[in-house]
């Protein structure tokens, strides 16, 4: 009889502990992997042109999470790696992918024409928007996101390379700059943060 | 017989006490032996970039309060408040002007990042394991304790086997002693008596 009571007692205790543990995990606030801007600041607005010659205004993307990278189509290392990560994140997002817009903004407008950007985006994902535009708007975008870029002239057919910021910027559904990811952040970590932000509603 | 009077239960209870004590000694001993003084609980480290920092850096002046290499522990949160009029980057954290950026340092690693307010433009960040969190020490206890207890129980049974309840001189209270009256079972008792050839009678 005593043994039975102890067994039931232990089972009840185990159930309570498991329930409390689960509740604790559920109530724990989400911890972002990326670099969080808290409180969020309104993202600098700009209007550029995509590979289809369609205008892209950042403030018109509210309701979607905008994931941005700055680079150029002749980039030998960082840009292809970043866009390959974007492609992987988009695949991981599944149905939620419609809530996220991936954007690539050129730091080399002289060579990155909309046609060239279109071909480049096509190589990764046709839904990505490759943006270029007039220098005033590009400067506004670069400055607003603290983007560094500098030409490095080479004695080769490539002409020049562009040193540039390799950071990824995330603008939330409210149009606020919310997160940045330094280059090298694990794709899974970026995916989890973006997925979390994509669940938010206006 | 009371539940706690059962020899196996008592032995398991004693083994638990010994096992937990051994686990505690091993885990805490290891912690104090291996702790090189840099391990601590995770915390939030706040850095403020004062107004005018960008100008100072542009003029080639160093920002005196910031070392070129910084050491953190796993789970630390690096909080950077930018009070300057331009954006700044401190390692993995980029902060727009007049904003606050933070990053939870989750993995043990060594990083070398760009830094906009170091004259060298680079910042080394070393993330080491957090050492003394109560959670990790409890986890060590949980991982060491049960196997140690199991080992002590098995070892104890092998070295000092449990005696049968009758051999201990006590009879379990849950099993009442049979009452046999000779008048009812005389024949049966008689069958159990063996008469040996030397005249002695044994049961």
| Per-residue tokens: A36 | 């969080």
Identify whether B179 is part of a domain: no
Identify whether B69 is part of a domain: yes
* Element (DSSP H or E) covering residue B196: none
Identify whether B187 is part of a domain: no
Identify whether B31 is part of a domain: yes
Instruction: Give the residue from chain B lying closest to A146, CA to CA.
Output: B87
User: Which residues in chain B have Cβ-Cβ distances shorter than 8 Å to A34?
Assistant: 103
Instruction: Give the residue from chain B lying closest to A30, CA to CA.
Output: B104
User: Which residues in chain B have Cβ-Cβ distances shorter than 8 Å to A196?
Assistant: none
Same domain? For B57 and B108 the reply is yes
Identify whether B82 is part of a domain: yes
Same domain? For B69 and B99 the reply is yes
Same domain? For B51 and B99 the reply is yes
The answer to whether the Cβ–Cβ distance between A38 and B113 falls below 8 Å is no
Q: What is the CATH number of the domain that holds B80?
A: 2.60.40.420
Q: Which long-range contacts (CB under 8 A, 24 or more apart) does B135-144 make?
A: B137/B27, B137/B28, B137/B31, B140/B23, B140/B27, B140/B30, B140/B31, B141/B20, B141/B23, B141/B24, B141/B27, B144/B22, B144/B23, B144/B26, B144/B27
What number is the ipTM of this complex? 0.79
Same domain? For B60 and B123 the reply is yes
Identify whether B70 is part of a domain: yes
Tokens 């498991």, residue? A18
The B residues from 105 to 124 touching A (CB cutoff 8 Å) are 106, 113
User: Which residues in chain A have Cβ-Cβ distances shorter than 8 Å to B102?
Assistant: 35-36, 38
Per-residue pLDDT of chain B (203 residues; tens, 9 = 90+): 677 778 888 888 888 999 999 999 988 888 778 766 666 778 898 888 889 888 887 887 766 566 777 888 888 998 999 999 999 888 788 999 999 999 988 778 777 777 776 666 777 888 887 766 677 778 888 888 899 999 998 888 888 887 765 555 455 555 555 554 444 444 444 454 454 455 454 44
User: Which residues in chain B have Cβ-Cβ distances shorter than 8 Å to A39?
Assistant: 99-100
Domain limits, chain A: 1-30, 32-198
Same domain? For B49 and B110 the reply is yes
Same domain? For B116 and B52 the reply is yes
Which range of residues forms the domain containing residue B168? 3-35+134-173
Facing B104 at nearest CB: one of A31, A41, A167: A31
Same domain? For B72 and B138 the reply is no
Asked whether the predicted pLDDT for residue A188 surpasses 80, the reply is yes
Give how many domains chain B has, as a whole number: 2
Superfamily of domain A32-198 in CATH is Glutaredoxin (3.40.30.10)
The answer to whether the Cβ–Cβ distance between B87 and A38 falls below 8 Å is no
């Amino acid at each position: 009889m005593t043994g039975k009571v102890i067994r039931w007692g232990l089972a009840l205790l185990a159930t309570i502990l498991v329930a409390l543990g689960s509740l604790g995990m559920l109530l724990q606030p989400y911890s972002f992997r990326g670099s969080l801007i808290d409180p969020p600041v309104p993202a600098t607005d700009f209007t550029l042109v995509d590979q289809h010659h369609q205008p892209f205004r950042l403030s018109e993307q509210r309701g979607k999470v905008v994931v941005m990278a700055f680079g150029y189509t002749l980039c030998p290392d960082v840009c292809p790696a970043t866009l390959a990560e974007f492609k992987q994140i988009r695949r991981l997002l599944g149905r939620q992918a419609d809530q996220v817009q991936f954007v690539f903004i050129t730091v080399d407008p002289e060579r990155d024409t909309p046609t060239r950007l279109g071909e480049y985006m096509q190589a990764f994902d046709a839904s990505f928007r490759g943006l270029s535009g007039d220098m005033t708007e590009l400067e506004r975008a670069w400055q607003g996101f603290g983007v560094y870029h500098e030409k490095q002239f080479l004695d080769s057919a490539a002409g020049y390379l562009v040193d540039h910021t390799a950071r990824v910027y995330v603008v939330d559904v409210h149009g606020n700059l919310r997160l940045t990811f330094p280059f090298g952040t694990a794709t899974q970590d970026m995916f989890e943060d973006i997925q979390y932000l994509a669940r938010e509603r206006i | 017989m009371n539940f706690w009077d059962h020899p196996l239960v008592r032995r398991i209870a004693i083994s638990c006490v010994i096992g937990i004590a051994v686990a505690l000694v091993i885990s805490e001993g290891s912690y104090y032996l291996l702790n090189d003084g840099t391990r601590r609980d995770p915390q939030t480290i706040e850095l403020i970039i004062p107004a005018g920092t960008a100008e100072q850096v542009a003029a080639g002046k160093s920002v005196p309060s910031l070392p070129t290499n910084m050491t953190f522990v796993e789970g630390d949160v690096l909080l950077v408040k930018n009070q300057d009029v331009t954006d700044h980057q401190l390692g993995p954290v980029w902060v727009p002007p007049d904003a606050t950026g933070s990053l939870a340092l989750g993995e043990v690693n060594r990083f070398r990042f760009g830094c906009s307010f170091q004259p060298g433009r680079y910042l080394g960040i070393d993330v080491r394991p957090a050492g003394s969190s109560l959670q990790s020490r409890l986890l060590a206890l949980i991982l060491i304790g049960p196997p140690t207890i199991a080992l002590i129980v098995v070892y104890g049974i092998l070295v000092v086997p449990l005696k049968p309840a009758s051999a201990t001189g006590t009879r379990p209270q849950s099993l009442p002693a049979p009452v046999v009256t000779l008048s009812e079972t005389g024949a049966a008792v008689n069958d159990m008596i063996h008469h040996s050839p030397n005249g002695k009678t044994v049961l």
